[in-house]
Chains A and B, each alone.
Chain A
Amino acid sequence: MPMKGRFPIRRTLEYLQKGDIIFKNKVKIMTVNYNTHGELSEGARKFVFFNIPQIQYKNPWVQIMMFKNMTPSPFLKFYLDHGEQVLVDVEGKDYKQISQHIKKILAKSEEVLQAEAQAKMQASNPANFGPKKYFHRECICEVEGQVPCPGITPLPKEMTGKYRAKMAASQE
């Protein structure tokens, strides 16, 4: 069952990850009111069809609700923290214009996103060892070219701790 339906590319992980609207932390709810018929709602309909999955994928904690045929004019409404509301009129606009506009007013800018990515990279150093849950490697024996795990192949006698201790004791 590979690709069924109109524009099945919308249902690929690559398409979802390509979404570039990441809302600021204060945006909590997004509401889209649009109509199922009519030229003026065409942009809103396409926006819902193409861009909403991308937005929801990138903003899993924002509640997105769609309302159809409630008002004659299509609009978007954002509910921010502290009770602030933003109304965006999308009558007659193209879906690309709508997403550009939203990106300009309510999304995190490129610099903020890059700063966050940098901070995340600095917080986790890939060279560290530790439990599988937090780090890539648990022990240096996993790396190619290093001494293999003594649990699997025994170490040569000269490298064992008890031989070295015996040698150190016999020398003194």
Chain B
Amino acid sequence: QGSIELSTMSVKHVSVHARWIIGKVIGTKMLKTAKVRVTRLVLDPYLLKYYNKRKTYFAHDALQQCTVGDIVLLKALPEARSKHVKHELSEIVHKVGRVVDPLTGKRVAGTDFVEPLTDLEEDKTLSEKLQELNISAASSGADSTPPQPPTS
């Protein structure tokens, strides 16, 4: 009796259901299209445990910059580009073989860094470093107010 009407005017122009999805690229053999496998956690009704359920999506990749194995963020297109392609590549989150640690910005291979972390210079003392900072603040222009010394 109560059939709920979906008014297309109130919904934003996106007619695709999944707005943002993240997945792994499994195929790039199509021109400017990447085949992406998206896994979602689905609850098994008897065991009450979550398992990964896969679904493949096709994404438009204009610059063909994806390789197989990349972790990729897809954005829904406002209208489906073709019968199967309803998403486009938004950004490559983890490029296969060139993963970058988001916290340090350095390249990473598995659980180790590719280059050892050497941003700390051990031979300079702290006072020398502070002197350097003072020099640069004074030379940088009179209109900027001098920085407040940190309250310890």
Asked if A133 CB lies within 8 Å of chain B CBs, one says yes
The reply to whether A63 and B2 form a contact with Cβ atoms under 8 Å apart is no
Q: Which residues of A contact B32 (CB under 8 A)?
A: none
B90: interface (CB < 8 Å): yes
- Residues A72 and B113 in contact in the complex (CB < 8 Å), given A65-B22, A65-B39, A131-B1: yes
Residues of chain A within 8 A of B99, CB atoms compared: 70-71
A99 at the interface (CB under 8 A from B): no
Given A57-B43, A71-B99, A79-B2 contact (CB < 8 Å):
no
In the docked arrangement, what's the CA distance between A37 and B111, Å? 10
Evaluate whether A35 and B21 lie within 8 angstroms (CB atoms) in the complex, with A56-B50, A75-B102 already known.
no
Q: Give residues 1-41 of A contacting B (CB, 8 Å).
A: 11-13, 16, 28-29, 31, 35, 37-38
Q: Are B41 and A64 in contact (CB under 8 A)?
A: yes
Contact residue range for chain B?
20 to 34
Q: Which of A63, A73, A79, A134 contacts B101 (CB 8 A)?
A: A73
Shortest CB-to-CB span from B109 to chain A, Å, is: 9
Contact between chains at B73 and A38 (CB < 8 Å): no
Indicate if the CB atoms of B108 and A79 lie closer than 8 Å: no
A67 at the interface (CB under 8 A from B): yes
Determine whether the beta carbon of B2 is less than 8 Å from that of A31: no
With a cutoff of 8 Å between Cβ atoms, the chain B residues found around residue A142 in the complex are none
List the A side residues contacting B43 at CB < 8 Å: 53, 56-57
Q: How far is the CA of A111 from the CA of B151 in the complex (A)?
A: 38
Majority secondary structure, A binding face: mixed
**Chain B residues near A56 (CB-CB < 8 A):** 41, 43, 50
A116 at the interface (CB under 8 A from B): no
B102 contacts which chain A residues (CB < 8 A)?
71, 75, 77, 87
Query: By the criterion CB–CB under 8 Å, are B101 and A72 in contact?
Result: yes
Per-position 1/0 for A58-91, Cβ under 8 A of B: 0000011101011111010101010100010101
Interface size of A as a range? 20 to 34
Judging by beta carbons under 8 Å apart, are A11 and B22 in contact? no
A37: chain B residues at CB < 8 Å are: 111
A107 within 8 A of B: no
Q: Which of B1, B73, B113 contacts A79 (CB 8 A)?
A: B73
The residue from B41, B48, B112 contacting A12, defined by CB atoms under 8 A apart: B48
Within B1-27, the residues touching A (CB, 8 Å) are: 1-2, 19-22
B81 is an interface residue with CB less than 8 A from chain A: no
Given contacts A29-B22, A64-B41, A79-B20, contact A71 B2 (CB under 8 A): no
List 11 interface pairs A-B (beta carbons < 8 Å), by A numbering.
A11-B47, A28-B19, A37-B111, A53-B49, A65-B22, A69-B110, A71-B99, A71-B108, A72-B108, A89-B103, A134-B2
